[in-house]
Amino acid sequence: MAHTQSKTPLPEQGMFRIWRGDSVGGKFEDYKTKIDPGMVVLDAVHRIQAEQAGDMAVRWNCKAGKCGSCSAEINGMPRLMCMTRLDELNLDMPVIVEPMKAFPSIRDLVTDVSWNFEVKKKIKKFAPRHPDENDGTWRMQQVDVDRVQEFRKCIECFLCQDVCHVLRDHRKHDEFIGPRFFVYTAALEMHPLDTADRVSDLKNKNGIGYCNITTCCRQVCPESITITENAIIPLKERVVDDFFDPIKKLFHIL
Amino acid sequence: MEYQVHPYDVLVIGAGGAGLRAAIEAASTGLKVGVVCKSLLGKAHTVMAEGGVAAALANVDDRDNWRVHFSDTMRGGQYLNNWRMAELHAKEAPDRVRELEAWGALFDRTKDGRILQRNFGGHRYPRLAHVGDRTGLEMIRTLQDHGIHSGMEVHMECTVLSLLMDGGRIAGAFGYDREKGNFIHWPAKAVVIATGGIGRAFQITSNSWEYTGDGHALAYRAGAELVDMEFVQFHPTGMVWPMSVRGILVTEGVRGEGGVLRNSEGKRFMFDDIPDLYKAQTADNEGEGWKYCQGDKNSRRPPELLTRDHVARCINREVKAGRGSPHGGVFLDIAWIKEHIPNSEEHIKRKLPSMYHQFKQLAGIDITKEPMEVGPTTHYMMGGVKVDGDSQMSTVPGLFAAGEAGGGLHGANRLGGNSLSDLIVFGKRAGEYAAKFAKGNGPVSTDEKQIADATAWALEPFDRGSTGENPYQIQYKLQESMQALVGIVRTKGEMQEALSVVGELSRRAEKAGVAGHRQYNNGWHTAMDLRNMLMVSEAITRAALLREESRGAQFRDDFPDKDPEWGKYNNVVRQGTEGEMIVEKRPITPLPAELKAVIEEMK
């Protein structure tokens, strides 16, 4: 059986160029460490931490791609360190590991992602319709649940936020909630039981107009959520329907 | 030394399912509630739970009810369970699950639009409400998204170092925040411990770095009793290859969906050893087992769905007998269902999406086509803070515990799916009773000496600097020793050796040193976590030594049989007046007649 499908035979050692620093500044430092079959970038970072750099800051939890804590940029790509295998990287060159760029640095590979938690609080919460049955329960069909379940796979790694140019380059954190929270809003808006209306907030407070669907967020999503096509575009359509439909506009005027 | 102060009525330590549910409940009474969360919000281990949440909703099989669930839980726990907790758990789990739906959770559906339930080990009927194989994520996200609107304040990436006392009563907690390295004092009238488990004391584990037994150790040092500490659950199916992912969980849902265990000879070895307690309800041939997984109500469950302790030991036996897989596990095969199901590949991907993803990405295995290699992994702590079944209050006034950190519900072995239900049933109760306690008792006063002592202890590793002992190496040595000496198969000699290793490592831990400064310094955090891991390791070992029998998760090679006499006792661990650890057996309160009748009826 093919247990590891290495694309290239692994060298015995690898060089890792890791960003060390804080909000004031920092620099890349090179660390050489031993490599074993099946290792992921997070393993290498841990080994370096345990043997050479005890105070190196890295955020992680599950090490299985389920919690979304170890987000970083590996050779320039936003990825989870725990799901990036060394045998898919070019180990002839140093592997560059640096923190996410869309958020302020705390230390080394750890960034301050608290902005995301504040954004979420401002989105109107789930508001279910009256229960369908006397016992207080609802009936929903699997087909109606499917599309929202896709959004609820989100592990809140914030890689989509990191790659989004509206946040990363234009720093519109005050006017734009980012792909993660469009997915969150879509999950609420398309929830079969939900009754709240978040469409005017999308247009007026959450900056959905800034998104020009470059699909970068979808491409980095470790859960393969079709962020742009399934979440953002349908939300944009709702905004258009509510605010820019000429016939509706006419009714508003009348 | 400076510190911040954030006073609360109720302080919840831990933000997994139990902590969040407790905080939501306490906040709903209008009290000021704080949550201390060791990682970012929503990253706690609940997120890793895969298979489902057990509740006798009877949506799939109408023969199910609380009495069956209660009996299954007691049988699984080998009757050492706190029966009052097992009763409340079985009765209240359905309401707690429906409540999650009202808060936005989207479980998989039955054809008539209700919450779908799946089969799981030790549960007589399909009982686990689930979302594919990411039920824990759905639960924690639901509680998180509901909780942030409930008024609770969350302190992310903060760790509690000690509980503070006001005379005999709890007075809050003291700790630090990782991001800045500042110290924080949280005065509180009531404290709920919901810190999860202890898996990091072992080498092969499904647990993340956080699970260092903090709540167990905090409560112990504050004078609370711990119960059932000898019972550590080794989940039968963790990944075994590649080395770097060794221990990562493979959900029992794979077997619930029809996955089978085979040895290197291709034999389904689980048919070879079916315990008497389960003979009547276990299939004795492959055809019947498959029919059960397909929902045939007249079939009995396949032996792969026996309780976790038993399946783990059978796998261990096959490997030791030389019938293991190439990397020291056995084969778990779900791909074989293609013999019965058209489009089986799509079916597997839909039912077990994260397993598919996990194996594809981390091991290069396509589980729809090839078998997985699996072996036991340290997964769950049955033992925990000894609490009152109704209120979840420990033996220390004002100190409550819920979830994995609380002890009693699961007895000698936990059934899969009973953890997620434990979190919400007893999280709610702990929050409710902690709020009552906070309302019924006046303000607490702070003893500055306790804070000064905790601060001084926390800063010691910096004084020793990089010339001190490397904290990571002490942790590795402890994990290796606990794995080798207090693992699935235990003996007196090995456990005595473990105690001397723990003693030696405790002395080394007192010399641990770290370089750098206090801001997000993982080395410093590891140095401080060692104390808790060592305390918990000692408690596990001492309790396991005292129990001279094999029952549930504890298997003693030197006492391989169950001893009916030991079935009358729980082991209780507490701190003596000289700081020494005391382990003693405590008689179990006899079951009331009506619960005894329920168990008899279900036999």
A2 lies in some domain:
no
Residues of A in contact with B134 (CB under 8 A): 66, 153
Residue contact B520–A69, C-beta within 8 A: no
Report the pLDDT value the prediction gives residue B74, as an integer from 0 to 100: 98
Residue contact A61–B42, C-beta within 8 A: no
Mean pLDDT across chain B: 96
Residue contact A153–B137, C-beta within 8 A: yes
Q: Of A111, A127, A161, which closes a domain?
A: A111
The full DSSP string for A78-105 is: EEEGGG-BGGGS-TTSPEEEE--SSS-E
Q: Say whether both A162 and A205 belong to one domain.
A: yes
Domain that holds residue B373: 237-377
Residue contact A107–B146, C-beta within 8 A: no
Residue contact B45–A62, C-beta within 8 A: yes
Percent of chain B with pLDDT over 90: 95
Inform me whether the pLDDT recorded for B119 exceeds 60.
Answer: yes
Mean pLDDT across chain A: 94
Q: Of B377, B404, B431, which closes a domain?
A: B377
Tell me the nearest-neighbour CA distance from A164 into chain B, angstroms: 22
Q: How many CA atoms lie within 13 A of B118 on its CB side?
A: 28
What totals of helices (H) and strands (E) does chain B contain, helices first?
17, 20
pLDDT band at B354 (very low <50, low <70, confident <90, very high): confident
Q: Say whether both A223 and A185 belong to one domain.
A: yes
Find how far residue B595's CA is from the centre of its chain. Answer: 26
Q: Say whether both A132 and A246 belong to one domain.
A: yes
Quick one: closest CA in B to A107, which residue?
B520
Quick one: closest CA in B to A61, which residue?
B208
Inform me whether the pLDDT recorded for B105 exceeds 60.
Answer: yes
Model pTM score: 0.95
What CATH number does the domain containing A73 carry?
Answer: 3.10.20.30
**Residue linked to tokens 């503070």:** B164
Residue contact A62–B104, C-beta within 8 A: no
A8 lies in some domain:
no
How far apart are alpha carbons B404 and B214 in whole angstroms? Answer: 12
A168 lies in some domain:
yes
Inform me whether the pLDDT recorded for A253 exceeds 90.
Answer: no
Q: Say whether both A197 and A214 belong to one domain.
A: yes
Report the pLDDT value the prediction gives residue A7, as an integer from 0 to 100: 52
pLDDT band at A254 (very low <50, low <70, confident <90, very high): low
A199-247 residue pLDDT tens: 999 999 999 999 999 999 999 999 999 999 999 999 999 999 999 888 8
A71 lies in some domain:
yes
Tell me the nearest-neighbour CA distance from B449 into chain A, angstroms: 29
Report the pLDDT value the prediction gives residue A10, as an integer from 0 to 100: 82
* Residue of A46, A66, A109, A184 best to disrupt the B interface, most CBs of B under 10 A: A66
A5 lies in some domain:
no
What CATH number does the domain containing B269 carry?
Answer: 3.90.700.10
Token pair in block for residue A117: 């938690």
Task: Name the H helices within B377-521.
Answer: 418-440, 448-464, 471-485, 492-509
Q: Say whether both B368 and B255 belong to one domain.
A: yes
B232 lies in some domain:
no
Inform me whether the pLDDT recorded for B568 exceeds 50.
Answer: yes
Report the pLDDT value the prediction gives residue A6, as an integer from 0 to 100: 47
**Is residue B216 annotated as a catalytic residue, yes or no?**
no
Residue contact A66–B514, C-beta within 8 A: no
B237-286 residue pLDDT tens: 999 988 888 999 999 989 999 999 999 999 999 999 999 989 999 999 99
B539 lies in some domain:
yes
Residues of A in contact with B370 (CB under 8 A): 1
* Residue of A7, A20, A55, A161 best to disrupt the B interface, most CBs of B under 10 A: A55
A11-41 residue pLDDT tens: 899 999 999 999 999 999 999 999 998 999 9
Residue contact B520–A107, C-beta within 8 A: yes
How far apart are alpha carbons B283 and B296 in whole angstroms? Answer: 12
Torsion of CA B305, B241, B229, B165, to 10 degrees: -130
Quick one: closest CA in B to A43, which residue?
B244
Report the pLDDT value the prediction gives residue A8, as an integer from 0 to 100: 61
Q: Of A66, A90, A111, which closes a domain?
A: A111
Q: Which of B123, B130, B255, B542 is catalytic?
A: B255
Residues of B in contact with A117 (CB under 8 A): 40-41, 148, 154, 156
**Is residue B255 annotated as a catalytic residue, yes or no?**
yes
Give how many domains chain B has, as a whole number.
2
A42 lies in some domain:
yes
Mean pLDDT over A127-149 rounds to 96
Domain that holds residue A229: 114-251
B302-322 residue pLDDT tens: 999 999 999 999 999 999 999
What CATH number does the domain containing B546 carry?
Answer: 1.20.58.100
Reduced to 3 states, what is the DSSP secondary structure of residue B511? Answer: coil
How far apart are alpha carbons B600 and B62 in whole angstroms? Answer: 20
Q: Say whether both A152 and A246 belong to one domain.
A: yes
A134 vs B: CB within 8 A: no
B197 lies in some domain:
no
Q: Say whether both B367 and B457 belong to one domain.
A: no
Q: Of A111, A141, A164, which closes a domain?
A: A111
Q: Of B377, B408, B424, which closes a domain?
A: B377
Q: Say whether both A24 and A96 belong to one domain.
A: yes
A174-205 residue pLDDT tens: 999 999 999 999 999 999 999 999 999 999 99
Look at residues A171, A179, A249 and name the one whose alpha carbon lies nearest to residue A208: A179
Q: Say whether both B372 and B461 belong to one domain.
A: no
Q: Say whether both A85 and A177 belong to one domain.
A: no
Q: Which of A1, A54, A106 is nearest residue B370 as measured by Cβ atoms? A: A1
* Residue of A63, A134, A143, A183 best to disrupt the B interface, most CBs of B under 10 A: A63
Q: Of B328, B360, B377, which closes a domain?
A: B377
Q: Which of A3, A38, A69 is nearest residue B39 as measured by Cβ atoms? A: A69
Percent of chain B with pLDDT over 70: 100
What CATH number does the domain containing A237 carry?
Answer: 1.10.1060.10
B252 lies in some domain:
yes
B365-384 residue pLDDT tens: 999 999 999 999 999 999 99
Report the pLDDT value the prediction gives residue A1, as an integer from 0 to 100: 36
Task: Name the residue type at position B541.
Answer: T
Q: Say whether both A120 and A98 belong to one domain.
A: no
B100 lies in some domain:
no
Q: Say whether both B346 and B264 belong to one domain.
A: yes
Residue contact A62–B48, C-beta within 8 A: yes
Inform me whether the pLDDT recorded for A3 exceeds 60.
Answer: no
A191 vs B: CB within 8 A: yes
A83 vs B: CB within 8 A: yes
Report the pLDDT value the prediction gives residue A4, as an integer from 0 to 100: 44
**Region class of B274: left (phi > 0), else alpha (psi between -120 and 50), else beta:** beta
Q: Say whether both A106 and A126 belong to one domain.
A: no
| Residue B249 DSSP one-character state | B
Give how many domains chain A has, as a whole number.
2
A6 lies in some domain:
no
The residue count of chain B comes to: 603
Q: Say whether both A118 and A107 belong to one domain.
A: no
Residues 195 to 254 of A: which have CB under 8 A from any B CB? Answer: none
Q: Say whether both B364 and B243 belong to one domain.
A: yes
Reduced to 3 states, what is the DSSP secondary structure of residue B151? Answer: coil
Q: Which of B21, B67, B130, B235 is catalytic?
A: B235
Task: State whether the Cα torsion B144-B146-B10-B384 is positive or negative.
Answer: negative
Look at residues B197, B198, B202 and name the one whose alpha carbon lies nearest to residue B478: B202
* Residue of B45, B47, B479 best to disrupt the A interface, most CBs of A under 10 A: B47
Q: Say whether both A106 and A120 belong to one domain.
A: no
Within 10 Å of residue B442's Cβ, how many Cβ atoms?
8
Q: Say whether both A177 and A204 belong to one domain.
A: yes
B26 lies in some domain:
no
B335 lies in some domain:
yes
Contact A81, A46 (CB under 8 A): no
Report the pLDDT value the prediction gives residue B603, as an integer from 0 to 100: 83
Residues 47 to 66 of A: which have CB under 8 A from any B CB? Answer: 49-50, 54-66
Inform me whether the pLDDT recorded for B499 exceeds 80.
Answer: yes
Tell me the nearest-neighbour CA distance from B327 into chain A, angstroms: 10
A79 vs B: CB within 8 A: no
B319 lies in some domain:
yes
A3 lies in some domain:
no
